[in-house]
Amino acid sequence: MLQVHNLNVVLDDLVLAKDMSFSLEPGKVNVIIGPNGTGKSTLLKTLFGDIQPTSGDIRFANDILQRKHLSRWRKQFGYMPQDIRLDVELSVLEVVLLGQLNNLGYRLDDSIIKEALTALDKIGLLHLANRSVNKLSGGQCQMILFAQALMRKPKILMLDEPVSALDLYFQQVLLDHLDTQTKQQGWITLMVLHDLNLAAQYADNLLVLKNGHLVASGHPRDILTPALVKDVYKVNADVTKDASGIPFVRTIRNNRVLDTTTNKESKARLIAKEQAMKITEGAI
């Protein structure tokens, strides 16, 4: 179990996390949601050790996050940050193999190569194995980095907006595979998603952040309500549920407010047009 207790993160007088406490269990997909700039990516970076907490502690099993043992701590993670650029002269297969960097030697073991090829096959990109990553689209790069993260065989898997550049098909491929592997391997999976409906479909547990605070947590069917969406995102929404109790969020468009100046100008043009028609009819 990954446990976060009274976590506070303050950088340059900006509060990025305030008194956060939660526990994440193995075999479950946890999804962080919340508005832009509310601390979602900061939380992942803090758990990984990129950002040092101002106070509080983070524990996994019998280990505690400490700067002096950061390398050991990170070996337990598969971490896929947001917006990584693959500006390297490597093939897709080579990039995936880097997920096993600690086990690579002068000669590649056939079993590791087979494992990397299998990972690519499961996400539908085996045909790209020998292509240079410089030739890939942004969405393909995301999928390749996902395969690399899986190759690390993590105990904790963290992904920051892993489907942001993917079309509907590959969103489903990635998230279905992630859900299956999380449950089969007993991983603790934590990812950031902006799409509330994807979060509702795939999360076993939602963590809702607002201004650096954890304002709600639990299964989507229990906490994803119109009131929560209004409070966190400042928009009105309908929330319905399917036969399985999975919520579906549909935002409600605000009524359009007429610009009185523009409205007056439109009326003036209409009057001018009517007068011109009368003059034309009189001339005829």
The CA-based diameter of the chain, rounded to the nearest angstrom, is 96
Query: Is residue 214 predicted with pLDDT exceeding 90?
Result: yes
Per-residue CA distances from 6 to 13, 55, 178 (Å)? 18, 7, 29
Quote the pLDDT of residue 205: 97
pLDDT confidence of 269, banded at 50, 70, 90?
low
Reference 25, options 215, 186, 200; nearest CA is 186
Quote the pLDDT of residue 270: 64
Quote the pLDDT of residue 15: 87
How many structural domains compose the chain?
Answer: 1
Quote the pLDDT of residue 30: 98
β-strand 156-160 against 77-80: which pairing, if any? Answer: parallel
Please name every residue paired with 11 in a beta bridge, in sequence order, or none if there are none.
14
SS3 80: strand
pLDDT confidence of 102, banded at 50, 70, 90?
low
The H-or-E segment that residue 64 falls in is strand 63-64
SS3 197: helix
Q: Does residue 63 or residue 220 have the better pLDDT?
A: 220
Per-residue CA distances from 33 to 160, 191, 213 (Å)? 11, 9, 12
Q: What is the pLDDT of residues 133-156, one digit of tens each?
A: 888 888 888 888 888 888 888 899
Mean pLDDT of 82-111: 75
Mean per-residue pLDDT over the chain, rounded: 87
β-strand 205-210 against 28-33: which pairing, if any? Answer: parallel
Q: What is the pLDDT of residues 38-68, one digit of tens each?
A: 999 999 999 999 999 999 999 998 889 988 8
Length of the chain: 284
CATH assignment of the domain containing 94: 3.40.50.300
Range of the domain at 65: 2-283
Q: What is the pLDDT of residues 173-185, one digit of tens each?
A: 999 999 999 999 9
Q: What are phi and psi of 208, to 5 degrees?
A: -105, 120
Residue whose entry in the numeric block shows the structure tokens 């650096």: 212
Mean pLDDT of 91-103: 81
Q: What is the pLDDT of residues 108-121, one digit of tens each?
A: 678 888 888 998 99
Strand segments (E) across 101-233: 156-160, 188-192, 205-210, 213-218
Query: Is residue 234 predicted with pLDDT exceeding 70?
Result: yes
Distance separating alpha carbons of residues 100 and 55, to the nearest angstrom: 33
